[in-house]
Structure 1
Amino acid sequence: MRILLIISVLFLLVACDNSAPSMALGSLERQRIALTATTNEVVVALPVAQGSMVSKGEVLVQLDDTLQKAHVTKALADVAQANANYEKLLKGAREEEIAAARAKVSGAKATLQESQANYRRIASMAKDNLASKANLDRSLASRDADAASLESAQEQLRELVAGSREEDIRFALANLDATEAVLLGEQKKLDDLTIRATRDGILDNLPWNLGERVTQGSPLAVVLAGKAPFARVYVPEPYRVKINIDDSLWVYVDGIDEPIEGRVTWIANEPAFTPYYALNQEERARLMYLAEVQLPDSSVSLPSGVPAQVAMP
């Protein structure tokens, strides 16, 4: 009788072992996209309600952009100024400026001729003791000054005719590029004050209220990206070698009678819990590997967070 009892217990244990669950447990999830604030500004508009479906590029949160628009306006003015200076150097002097410089040279020549004639006359008179040494020195200094003025006017004319130096043009071009780069940065900062959806999905959360001043780096909107959710489950260690990327598995969702066929999109190579080398053979069977099984687009209406099970192959 005792032997029969022992055999019955053994059969019961085997039966319990054979009925071990072949399900990977987890829940339905979607990728969470957190859109953060790049500066400290006030929320001035929340055009989309929480829980709404959103499309890529749709405005979710608008921050006050008054100050940043002023920065962009200043950057635009700096670019215009740098561009005007570059074009001025590139074109060189105007015809009117060159004509004025030529007229100045002609005037300086006439003045020098008069000074030379005056010096010769006084020098001749000084030989006959009809002019003082002081008058002779003054006429000589006036002649030399007029000669220097003529040379200066001629150099200015040559500078205008030759045009701008190549180094000055390159410097002006570099300055223009720098101001344009600053403008792009200011425009990017302005664009960042308008928080747009970066992917299609569901607007899950708006942490800040209208009129609040946000803190830099804090999330302004959280979007659950993608159409249908995926099942994030823990695969038991004995089934890890049987599962590969793109395998089809049946997903059972609480509240839905029929299973849904999903596709394995990712499975971890490392166990989620204690490393395998620290466990014996019996304990290794309890290791779990995190995996994601994508549901088809027909499951778009399923909410995130619902418990789900995936049947093991």
Structure 2
Amino acid sequence: MWRLVRVGLSLLLLAGCGEATPGLPGTLEWDRITRVAEVSEPVQRWLVAEGERVTAGQPLLTLDPRRLDARLAQAEGELDGARAALAEARQGPRQETIAAARADLARARAAQTLADADYRRSLRLFQRQVLASAELDQALALRDQRRAEADALAARLEELLRGERPERIAAATAAVAAARAHVDDLRVDRERLVVTAPRDGRVDDLPFRPGDQPPAGATLVSLLVGDAPYARFYVPVGRRATLAVGDPVTVHVTGLDTPFAARVESLAREPVFTPYYALAGDDASRLVYLARARLTDAADERLAAGLPVRVELGREP
């Protein structure tokens, strides 16, 4: 920006010293949009060339999808597992599982009955002083163990008959939602590995070659868009008060004999050179304002951005 300002000021000073070419200095520009890399992956191939006209939605280049494809496949597998867990939680246990639990409980009840009988028999023998107290203690412990096992299996069977708790179903539902969101996020990233044109325009720059791996956030392609270019020029303080948005101007492009009609579409309110409060006397002539004038004549779309121009205002001083 400051380099352009210095060039503009030099041209202004030359004009003030008798430069024959009329007008204010500037450059020809196009509206520009860029597409950036959202992930760092190697450039796979170009689908267009620099200078080529493209339409909105047209693929411009592709990035290597292998890493994202693997991550997407993993995420889709996790989503399938979460859905299966949710379906199992909603349907409850299979009848075969319930039948097996009933059989385990019956076996535990039979073992409990046998342990109870052994304990009563050992107690009678102990009371007759035929059995030692240690053996009675063992029979009592075995009876209590068999009772505990039967109670645990009875509780397990009751849980199966009632089905999964609502909290577990809610947790399984949340797990499915999280897995689905992760898959959707990766699918968006996968789609954006094919870089497309957001608007009709012309390819201006493809800074990376196939095989290069641009970092995330790097510009992959630059497009020039819009129906006509504009002149970016610098207005001296002496003309700022008499120029307004919408005023007609004439743009002379270096290298072309025919000028172009244009209309001012923006005019800065603040100077782009030395601040006004630091200027005095002759230095005030160095105060300039950045302006833009859109070409209204039919302009060749091949006009390059950055060409030097001189802009004639409606009334030269």
User: What TM-score does the superposition give when structure 1 sets the normalisation length?
Assistant: 0.78
- SS in structure 1 opposite 2:290? strand
- SS in structure 1 opposite 2:210? coil
- How far is the alpha carbon of 1:134 from its aligned partner? 5.8
CA distance in 2, matches of 1:258, 1:134: 118
- SS in structure 2 opposite 1:62? strand
- How far is the alpha carbon of 1:195 from its aligned partner? 2.3
CA distance in 1, matches of 2:100, 2:296: 81
2:250 and 2:313 in contact (8 A); partners too: no
CA distance in 2, matches of 1:53, 1:158: 72
Deviations 1:166-209 (A, max 9, x none): 44444444444443444344334433432222332110122223
Q: Single out whichever of 293-302 and 40-49 deviates more from structure 2.
A: 293-302
Structure 2: runs of 5 or more not aligned: 1-15
- How far is the alpha carbon of 1:39 from its aligned partner? 4.6
- SS in structure 2 opposite 1:271? coil
Change over 3 Å in CA distance of 1:253–1:117 after alignment to 2? same
- Opposite residue 89 of structure 2, the aligned amino acid is L
CA distance in 1, matches of 2:243, 2:173: 60
2:277 matched residue in structure 1: 277
- SS in structure 1 opposite 2:56? coil
1:81 matched residue in structure 2: 81
Q: Single out whichever of 104-113 and 60-69 deviates more from structure 2.
A: 104-113
CA distance in 1, matches of 2:95, 2:266: 73
Higher alpha-carbon Rg: 1
Total equivalences in the alignment: 295
1:231 and 1:293 in contact (8 A); partners too: yes
CA distance in 1, matches of 2:88, 2:242: 74
1:71 matched residue in structure 2: 71
2:94 matched residue in structure 1: 94
CA distance in 1, matches of 2:197, 2:43: 16
CA distance in 2, matches of 1:243, 1:105: 96
User: What TM-score does the superposition give when structure 2 sets the normalisation length?
Assistant: 0.77
2:10 matched residue in structure 1: none
RMSD: 3.3
Deviations 1:282-312 (A, max 9, x none): 4424422111122349436351334434443
1:6 matched residue in structure 2: none
Change over 3 Å in CA distance of 1:136–1:97 after alignment to 2? same
- SS in structure 2 opposite 1:44? strand
1:203 matched residue in structure 2: 203
- How far is the alpha carbon of 1:129 from its aligned partner? 5.9
- How far is the alpha carbon of 1:223 from its aligned partner? 1.2
CA distance in 2, matches of 1:101, 1:51: 75
- SS in structure 2 opposite 1:56? coil
The reply to whether residue 148 of structure 1 matches residue 148 of structure 2 is yes
Change over 3 Å in CA distance of 1:251–1:77 after alignment to 2? farther
1:111 matched residue in structure 2: 111
Change over 3 Å in CA distance of 1:265–1:155 after alignment to 2? farther
Identity %: 33
- SS in structure 2 opposite 1:242? coil
